[in-house]
Amino acid sequence: MKSFFVLLRKEWLEQWRTYRLLVVGVVLVVFGLLSPLIAKYTPELIKLVPEGEAIAALIPTPTALEAVAQYLKNMSQFGGILALLLTMGAVAQEKDKGTAAMMLVKPLPRLAFLAAKFAALALMFAASLALAGLACYYYTWLMFGPLDA
């Protein structure tokens, strides 16, 4: 179990030093801020299109709950794609750099090596999603007022 936490710390430091943690956090926060903005101004953007007045009349006035629903849809789609893109080469990258061979020569279980990678990525996504959710909630509150449950 001790080797798992050592490897988890190594993975977390690697994410910090390669700015992967910062980039994922910023990208998800940007999407969190864009969701209420898009929900609020979509009817007005549609009105700019020729003959968009008729289409805009069909769209209901945006609410805070619609902005949050749009955020959840964006995160379920884009967050999943981002998670796949970042995790697909995690072990292969270690193998190419030669650090996987160095780590696996030591007496540590291969399961701990893979579990630490998975846990570090899961922590990164959880922290980034929590930060993006807070940003979305705050920006929705600024644009629409408090959420009505």
Average pLDDT along the chain: 86
Residue 136, domain member (yes or no)? yes
Select from 135, 148, 143, 146 the least CA-distant residue to 71.
135
Give pTM, 2 decimals.
Answer: 0.82
Please report which confidence band the pLDDT of residue 126 belongs to, taking 50, 70 and 90 as the band edges. Answer: very high
Q: What is the tally of structural domains in the chain? A: 1
pLDDT at residue 149 above 70?
Answer: no
Contact yes or no for 95/101 (Cβ under 8 A): yes
149 belongs to a structural domain: no
Q: Put residue 62 in one of left, alpha, beta given phi > 0 → left and psi -120 to 50 → alpha.
A: beta
| Residues 111, 113: Cα–Cα separation, whole Å | 5
pLDDT at 61: 84
| 57 domain-assigned | yes
N residues, the chain: 149
Radius of gyration of the chain, Cα coordinates, nearest whole angstrom: 21
User: Residue 103's domain spans which residues?
Assistant: 2-144
Give a yes or no: residue 95 inside a domain: yes
pLDDT tens track for 84-112: 988 887 777 777 777 766 677 677 788 88
Q: Look at residue 98 and tell me if it is in a domain.
A: yes
With CA atoms as reference, report the closest residue to 74 among 112, 37, 116: 37
Query: What does the block give as tokens for 93?
Result: 């990258």
